[in-house]
Amino acid sequence: MSDADSFIQEVSEEVRRDRLFGLWKRYAPLVIGVIVAVVAAAAFIAWRDAQDEAAAREAGAALIDAGEEPTAPARAERYLTEADALPEGAALLARLRAAGELAAAGEVAEARGLYDAVAIDTATPPSLAAFAAYRAAMLTAAGGDAAGAVAQLSPLAGAEGSFRLLALEARGALRLGLGDLAGAREDVEAVLADPAATEETRGRAGLLASAIRARDPQEAAQ
């Protein structure tokens, strides 16, 4: 390499260093700020996850303790007490458990009221809202109000959701008991036509269809 080439290379390197140094002076605060922000965000996420995990442990312990009360009414009362202090998701679970304990204790009206409250709460996830509505309807039926239960089941039976088939099946049985053979048959056919119906579900629907035919004078005469 000639002296001229060597000189040119040294000058070019100096120019590059000067440019890099100038760029660093210009953008260093921004780069450092981004790094600090990233580290702070990572630290916050780690802290939040630790807080969430601790809260989940505390909520789980509270629910376990409530479930160890000696009687169903006592468990229900404890669940409701804990629900007032628990985070939203755990509080919802506590209310559902309280409703179940009240139903087991024969406190049907109170249990139904809790299920209804969970079902209409806009903060309740759709699947749990449907579960609560279904349980409320079943308690209405158990209390002897078949027509009321049919009315409660109808929104579930007409919606696309995880409790649609159960709602159709239950409504069909209730309609049969009320003497609404056409309505009962419609519900059974809807269950049998649904590709999501399991073999067990289809088997129960088949038994219900047989019961409908036995109650129908025209079909029974054939």
Rounded-to-integer distance, Cα 35 and Cα 180, Å = 71
What would the pLDDT profile of 69-126 be if each residue is shown by its tens digit?
A: 678 788 888 888 877 877 777 788 888 888 888 988 889 999 999 999 999 988 888 8
Give the pLDDT confidence score for residue 189 in this predicted structure: 95
Q: Which of 17-26, 54-63, 211-220 has the highest mean pLDDT?
A: 211-220
Q: Which of the pair, 43 or 66, is modelled with greater confidence?
A: 66
Going by pLDDT thresholds of 50, 70 and 90, the confidence category of residue 50 is very low
What would the pLDDT profile of 86-100 be if each residue is shown by its tens digit?
A: 777 778 888 888 888
Q: 132 φ, ψ to 5°?
A: -65, -40
Give the pair of three-digit tokens for residue 116: 């209804």
Rounded-to-integer distance, Cα 136 and Cα 141, Å = 9
* Domain boundary assignment for the chain: 60-144, 146-217
Three-class secondary structure of residue 19 per DSSP: helix
Concatenating the DSSP letter of every residue in 17-81 gives HHHHHHHHHHHHHHHHHHHHHHHHHHHHHHHHHHHHHHHHHHHHHHHHHHHTSSSHHHHHHHHHH
Please give the model's pTM, rounded to 2 decimal places: 0.69
